[in-house]
Structures are given as structure tokens and as C-alpha cells.
Amino acid sequence: MEELLRTNDMVLISFVESILNEARIAHLVFDQNMSVIEGSLGILPRRVLVARDRLDDARRLLTEAGIGPELRRHGAAPDD
């Protein structure tokens, strides 16, 4: 799995999931339950991951949907 997106914006995550579901691109959202630990402050971002072999398809779809600037760069270190 490769990280596609990292954000605190739950609306954006919902939008991304909708696009990926429609395209039948399997994905996982990590760190959803961290809000319980952090006290719902929104400090810890959620991460959307897709299979490496579908990463380019997912990036293309999300770029076409206008959220390309939100996507993680290929090969970006976790703190970039």
C-alpha cells in the first residue's frame, strides 16, 4: 500500500473515498480512530492508502477531480 493523501479534512477524505469507490479502487483510511486518543482536536492527520499498482490511476482520478495539490508526492518522506 502507498500513501495517496494525508489530511485532517474529513470532508476531503469522504470525497476521495467516493471517487475511489466509484472507480473500484481498493483503499484504506488509516488513523481514523486516533481522534479518540487525541481528544478530537484534529491534530493527527488521517492517511488514505491504495495498492501500489493502482496508485497512478488513483492520482489521475483525484487530479481530474481538482484535488491534485492535496496528494502526496511520489517518494515523499513521511514528514514532507
Q: For 3, phi and psi rounded to 5 degrees?
A: -75, 125
Residue 42 pLDDT: 62
Q: What is the pLDDT of residues 21-74, one digit of tens each?
A: 999 999 999 987 765 565 556 678 889 999 999 999 999 999 999 999 889 876
Secondary structure of residue 72 in the 3-state scheme: coil
483525484: which residue's cell? 62
Domains and CATH numbers, the chain: 2-70 (3.30.70.790)
Q: What is the pLDDT of residues 66-76, one digit of tens each?
A: 999 889 876 55
Residue 33 pLDDT: 72
- The model's pTM: 0.80
If we measure between CA atoms, which residue out of 29, 71, 31, 27 comes closest to residue 53? Answer: 27
